[in-house]
Amino acid sequence: MKESVAAWLSGSQAQETAVFLLGNVPGLPPIAQSLHILGIAVVMSSTVMIHLRILGLAAPSQQISEMIGRLMPWTWWALLVNAITGLLFVVGRPNRYFFNPVFGWKFMCLVPAVAIALVIYRMNRREPGYWEHTAARVHSARAMAVVSLLLWIGVVLAGRWIAYTDYLYFLYE
Amino acid sequence: MNEDTSVPFPEFWNWVQALPISEHIGFTWWFPLLESLHVLGVGLVVGSILMVDLRLLGKTALSIPASRMTRDMIRWTWGAFVLAVITGTGLFMTRASAYIENPAFQIKLLLLVLAGANMAWFQFRTLRGVEQWDTATRPPQAARIAGAASLLLWIGVIFAGRWVGHII
């Protein structure tokens, strides 16, 4: 599957465009990367603060339901920025990413992390205060918060390690 | 090694990067480990500060008093800042004399100092009279300026920080 996506992108018009933009727009690579980090800052702080609140570790005076409604739209917008700025590089050099195991790990963390965020957001939207109404929901929210915190940390760490697979020699043995 | 005399203490930076710990970080998986933890720290520092800035600008979280927002965030901001400083220092030590004369790195340090000064001014002057405007959806001009300055300075820190690696 990833082989065919990489092959389809290689030599495509999209790849040529991305390579042209990255090579010819002055400063585009660091600008796109900086926006990507800014997006990470918004995603991390919005989701992490909600999770820490759910776990009772931060912002005790703020309401969980209000925080979810207020902060998570920022998460979605920032994820969109990250998707666009990230795709620029993936489309430009598909083989560098699709055949990189660390890139795969990043998405193995990212997909469930976004799924958990969506569940938390949607249920709270359907019924404000959803995650506080019964003991069972409080417990499942806490479990999701712990898993999600670890997943987001994994996304960030793996994201940075994509450029350093050389150090992970055990991958090539 | 370092011919540029415009940077003070060239021997000192050469000494720093020749330390065994600096070479260990620079030549092993410690470098990417510290760098990825640095991104994590920076993300939380800047993200948590943006929340406060947007409240001070009267853009978000208007139902929450400004002083409560700053109090809720400050512990996490400082904790993440300590992580970013420790990991950032480790990264810096690996090529201290090159980083110290890297214009992007110099700009980043300058922006950090300005952001710190802005924060201190806000903390010790503007926040003194917070009772007057704590629940105001449009905080006074001094608070709005502090929020806008902080927003721009921290975004600048991220851009300059990312640019460091493109110059070196």
pLDDT, tens only, B36-55? 999 999 999 999 999 999 99
pLDDT tens column, B61-76: 999 999 999 999 999 9
- What's the first-to-final CA gap in chain A, in angstroms? 24
- The crossing angle, in degrees rounded to 10, of helices A28-54 and B66-94 is 130
What is the four-CA torsion angle of B156, B159, B162, B167, rounded to 10 degrees? -100
CB contact under 8 A, A61 and B68: yes
> Is residue B34 over pLDDT 80?
yes
Give yes or no for a contact between B53 and B148, defined as CB atoms under 8 angstroms apart.
yes
Beta strands in B1-54 (DSSP E): none
Q: Does B61 touch chain A (CB under 8 A)?
A: yes
Distance CA B128, CA B83 (A): 29
Looking at residue B69, its pLDDT comes to 93
Query: How do the pLDDT tens digits run along chain A, 173 residues long?
Result: 778 888 889 889 999 999 999 999 999 999 999 999 999 999 999 999 999 999 999 998 899 999 999 999 999 999 999 999 999 999 999 999 999 999 999 999 999 999 999 999 999 999 999 999 999 999 999 999 999 999 999 999 999 999 998 887 676 66
CB contact under 8 A, A44 and B163: no
Q: Does B51 touch chain A (CB under 8 A)?
A: yes
Looking at residue A128, its pLDDT comes to 93
Q: Does A23 touch chain B (CB under 8 A)?
A: no
pLDDT tens column, B116-163: 999 999 999 999 989 999 999 999 999 999 999 999 999 999 999 999
Residues 6+ apart with CB under 8 A from B152: none
> Is residue B2 over pLDDT 60?
no
Alpha-helix runs per DSSP H in chain A:
2-9, 13-24, 28-54, 64-92, 94-98, 101-126, 135-161
- What's the first-to-final CA gap in chain B, in angstroms? 15
Give yes or no for a contact between A32 and A85, defined as CB atoms under 8 angstroms apart.
yes
- With CA atoms as reference, the chain A residue closest to B159 would be A34
State the Rg of chain A over Cα: 19
Which of A45, A160, A167 faces B47 most closely, judged by CB atoms? A45
Q: Residue B4: pLDDT band by 50, 70, 90 thresholds? A: low
Looking at residue A61, its pLDDT comes to 85
Report the SS3 class of residue A116: helix
- Give the pair of three-digit tokens for residue B109: 């340090």
Give yes or no for a contact between B61 and B54, defined as CB atoms under 8 angstroms apart.
yes
B94 min Cα distance to partner chain A (Å): 16
Looking at residue A172, its pLDDT comes to 67
Looking at residue A171, its pLDDT comes to 67
Give yes or no for a contact between B56 and B146, defined as CB atoms under 8 angstroms apart.
yes
> Is residue B109 over pLDDT 80?
yes
Residues 6+ apart with CB under 8 A from B117: none
Answering whether pTM is above 0.90, one says yes
Percentage of residues in chain B having pLDDT higher than 70: 96
**ipTM of model:** 0.92
The amino acid sitting at A172 is: Y
Residues 6+ apart with CB under 8 A from B90: B25, B30, B34
Distance CA B121, CA B143 (A): 10
